[in-house]
């Protein structure tokens, strides 16, 4: 082999080169594309090394966190659940359903009845075997409104559940082709007897056992010796340190105290790339930063005014200045190419002050300033983004007035209350879930108060549709409805920006969530 090829293989091994980049460069050396791709697979999936202690430093943990998976609502509990817990199924980086505790999934023709065959011999940390009854009990606990589960909305659609031997049967009130994706939700950790006895005991069937649980400080785990899948869980021990301060987190990864960190500030990503021993990874995800208008309140009940505001955002400028280029522009509907069945032929909305001014004039707004409420905590850079919006809108003759709100209480006093404010969404594994969460007329978190009968009808039709071409067309039509009539201004999708030390191997981009969907410490190993 030639020297440059060796170097590239080394780079691929260390995760410094993407597959596309690797294939592009090696074919330039005369290697066939097929061989190049195979070489990359071999290099990138070098034999994992077992043992050691992997540490992650994460933002998003509080001393108020609980081990009850139903209550998880921030990044650290999310990763913690995935460390000790095992789900029925999982979603791969490529957007496919992966079997975990279930080893087979099948549905009837209209997707109203689903059967999950439970894998034999999966063991909880307390030595008990996972049974179909445990799975049913888990789902039942999350279905119970008293459990305060974040997954309540997901499991609510299940009208009947039954266990028979190793087979779990779920009957749905209406067909849902995406059910397995929904059951991969991080709240739905399978617990012994569903966690009814003690939801916070932290006993699951995941790759690691909980050893230390100090909420807001650190979470320590050791390998679950009888874990059923030896392709993950390489380290003997793993630890998640809660480091909420950005500078402290960066210092911890630079000094080698942790191997990986989440939430690198886009402003310092370029600088951190130059630090020795550390790589910065920007992974396109489904999360997005938004400005939301309540379509049922004046002046936002006028579609021309909404359209004027949508046209008055300079999206590229926001991606460049707010995200430091680590993101992509949005098109005023909450779906991007990271979702399955995304239609990339929908025209991109551009900044057009002239058209915005036309719509503004047509709306007949009285010229009084439109109040946009924003807090720094709405999303990183929210205040600055609002200022950019104010300027670009002013160029179209639309007066925006920014009203700064305190972070404290923002989600209870401003978001979903005031008619126009900044917010963010983390995205969902499938389009159906994203739309059903926030755009369906009856959705609990319909934060734009968007009610459209045609949209609702399409959503329900797509949900029960197993033909993916038809589904894609339906989703495309729904996207256009939200884009042209909704109250959502979506200027940008943000990347997950993370820093990983060189000794970490096996890292791969996963659009489902930050740090390889909360499993970087489970899937990676140390060189």
Partner 1 sequence: MHPVLTLVVQRIALGLLLLLAVSAVIFLGVAALPGDTAQAILGQSATPQALANLRTEMGLDQPALTRYFNWLGGILTGDLGTSLSNRTDIAAAISQRLGNTLFLAGWAAVISVPLAILLGLLAARYNGRWPDKLISGATLSTISLPEFVVGYIVLYFLAVKWQLFPSVAMVFPGMGMMERLNAVILPVIVLVLVVLAHMMRMTRAAILNVMQSAYIETAELKGLTPMRVIWRHAFPNAVAPVVNVVMLNLAYLVVGVVVVEVVFVYPGMGQYLVDHVAKRDLPVVQAVGLIFAAVYIGLNIMADVISILANPRLRHPK
Site for partner 1 in 18-47 (CB under 8 A): none
Site for partner 1 in 331-370 (CB under 8 A): none
| Beta carbon nearer to partner 1, 151 or 172 | 151
Quick check: 155 and 103 in contact, CB under 8 A?
no
Decide: is 143 part of the binding site for partner 1 (CB under 8 A). no
CB of 320 to partner 1, least distance (A): 27
CB of 412 to partner 1, least distance (A): 4
Site for partner 1 in 229-258 (CB under 8 A): 241-245, 247-248, 251-252, 254-258
| Beta carbon nearer to partner 1, 215 or 397 | 215
Q: Which residues contact 105 (CB under 8 A, 6 or more apart)?
A: 89, 97, 99, 114, 115, 116, 117, 180
Decide: is 65 part of the binding site for partner 1 (CB under 8 A). yes
Decide: is 268 part of the binding site for partner 1 (CB under 8 A). no
Supply the DSSP symbol for 83.
Answer: H
CB of 519 to partner 1, least distance (A): 21
CB of 424 to partner 1, least distance (A): 9
Cα gap 193→199, rounded to integer Å: 10
Cα gap 247→449, rounded to integer Å: 38
| Beta carbon nearer to partner 1, 248 or 395 | 248
Three-class DSSP category at 193: helix
| Beta carbon nearer to partner 1, 9 or 504 | 504
Three-class DSSP category at 263: coil
DSSP E strand boundaries for 330-381: 370-374
Per-residue contact string for residues 193-212; x = within reach of partner 1 by CB under 8 A: -------x-----------x
- Torsion angles phi and psi, residue 306, rounded to 5: -60, -45
Decide: is 277 part of the binding site for partner 1 (CB under 8 A). no
Interacting residue with partner 1 among 9, 22, 57, 235 (CB under 8 A): 57
> Where does this chain touch partner 1 (CB under 8 A) — which range of 20-28, 64-72, 120-128, 281-289?
64-72
CB of 408 to partner 1, least distance (A): 7
Decide: is 217 part of the binding site for partner 1 (CB under 8 A). yes
Quick check: 58 and 76 in contact, CB under 8 A?
yes
- Torsion angles phi and psi, residue 91, rounded to 5: -115, 130
Identify the residue whose tokens are 């997005």. Answer: 288
CA distances from 333 to 197, 347, 488 (A): 42, 12, 7
CB of 137 to partner 1, least distance (A): 20
| Residues near partner 1 (CB under 8 A), total | 46
Strand partners, 451: none
Decide: is 64 part of the binding site for partner 1 (CB under 8 A). yes
| Beta carbon nearer to partner 1, 3 or 145 | 145
Reference 269, options 289, 288, 253; nearest CA is: 253
Cα gap 215→240, rounded to integer Å: 10
Cα gap 353→468, rounded to integer Å: 38
Decide: is 62 part of the binding site for partner 1 (CB under 8 A). yes
DSSP E strand boundaries for 264-339: 278-293, 327-329
Decide: is 53 part of the binding site for partner 1 (CB under 8 A). no
Decide: is 409 part of the binding site for partner 1 (CB under 8 A). yes
CB of 252 to partner 1, least distance (A): 5
Reference 465, options 179, 109, 84; nearest CA is: 109
| Beta carbon nearer to partner 1, 31 or 72 | 72
Three-class DSSP category at 92: coil
Cα gap 129→425, rounded to integer Å: 37
Interacting residue with partner 1 among 52, 157, 215, 284 (CB under 8 A): 215
- Contacting residues toward partner 1, per CB under 8 A: 57, 62-66, 71, 73-74, 145-146, 148-150, 152-153, 200, 212, 214-218, 241-245, 247-248, 251-252, 254-258, 408-409, 411-413, 415, 423, 444-445
């Amino acid at each position: 082999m030639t020297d440059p090829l060796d170097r590239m293989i080394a780079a691929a091994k260390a995760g410094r080169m993407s597959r596309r980049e690797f294939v592009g460069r090696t074919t330039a050396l005369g290697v066939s594309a097929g061989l190049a791709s195979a070489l990359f697979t071999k290099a990138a999936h070098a034999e994992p090394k077992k043992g050691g202690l992997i540490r992650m430093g994460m933002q998003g943990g509080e001393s108020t966190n609980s081990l009850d998976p139903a209550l998880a609502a921030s990044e650290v509990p999310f990763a913690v659940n995935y460390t000790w817990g095992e789900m029925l199924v999982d979603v791969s980086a490529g957007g496919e359903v992966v079997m975990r505790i279930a080893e087979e999934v099948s549905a009837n023709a209209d997707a109203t009845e689903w059967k999950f065959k439970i894998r034999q011999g999966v063991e909880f940390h307390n030595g008990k075997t996972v049974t179909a009854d445990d799975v049913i009990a888990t789902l039942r606990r999350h279905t119970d409104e008293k459990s305060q589960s974040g997954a309540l909305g997901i499991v609510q659609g299940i009208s009947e559940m039954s266990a028979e031997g190793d087979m779990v049967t779920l009957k749905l009130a209406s067909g849902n082709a995406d059910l397995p994706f929904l059951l991969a939700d991080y709240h739905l950790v399978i617990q012994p007897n569903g966690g009814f006895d003690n939801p916070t005991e932290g006993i699951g069937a995941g790759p690691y056992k909980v050893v230390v649980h100090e909420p807001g400080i650190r979470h320590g785990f050791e390998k679950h010796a009888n874990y059923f899948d030896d392709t993950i869980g390489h380290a003997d021990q793993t630890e998640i340190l809660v480091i909420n301060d950005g500078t402290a987190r960066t210092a911890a990864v630079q000094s080698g105290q942790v191997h990986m960190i989440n939430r690198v500030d886009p402003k310092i990503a370029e600088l951190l790339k130059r630090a020795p021993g550390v790589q910065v990874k920007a992974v396109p995800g489904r999360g997005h930063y938004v400005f939301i208008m309540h379509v049922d309140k004046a002046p936002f009940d006028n579609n021309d005014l909404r359209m004027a505001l949508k046209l008055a955002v300079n999206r590229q400028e926001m991606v460049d200045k707010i995200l430091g280029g680590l993101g992509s522009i949005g098109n005023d509907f909450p779906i991007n190419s990271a979702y399955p069945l995304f239609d990339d032929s929908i025209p991109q909305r551009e900044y057009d002050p002239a058209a915005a001014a036309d719509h503004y004039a047509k709306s007949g707004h009285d010229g009084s300033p439109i109040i946009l409420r924003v807090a720094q905590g709405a999303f990183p850079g929210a205040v600055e983004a609002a200022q950019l919006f104010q300027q670009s809108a002013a160029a179209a003759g639309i007066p925006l007035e920014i009203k700064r709100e305190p972070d404290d209480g923002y989600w209870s006093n401003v978001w979903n209350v005031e008619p126009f404010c900044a917010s963010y969404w983390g995205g969902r594994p499938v389009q159906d879930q994203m739309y059903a969460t926030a755009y369906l007329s009856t959705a609990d978190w319909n934060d734009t108060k968007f009610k459209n009968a045609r949209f609702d009808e399409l959503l329900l039709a797509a949900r029960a549709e197993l033909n993916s071409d038809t589904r894609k067309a339906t989703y495309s039509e729904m996207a256009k409805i939200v884009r042209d009539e909704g109250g959502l201004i979506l200027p940008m999708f943000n990347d997950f920006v993370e820093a990983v030390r060189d000794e970490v191997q096996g890292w791969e981009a996963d659009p489902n969530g930050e740090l390889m969907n909360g499993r970087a410490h489970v899937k990676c190993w140390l060189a």
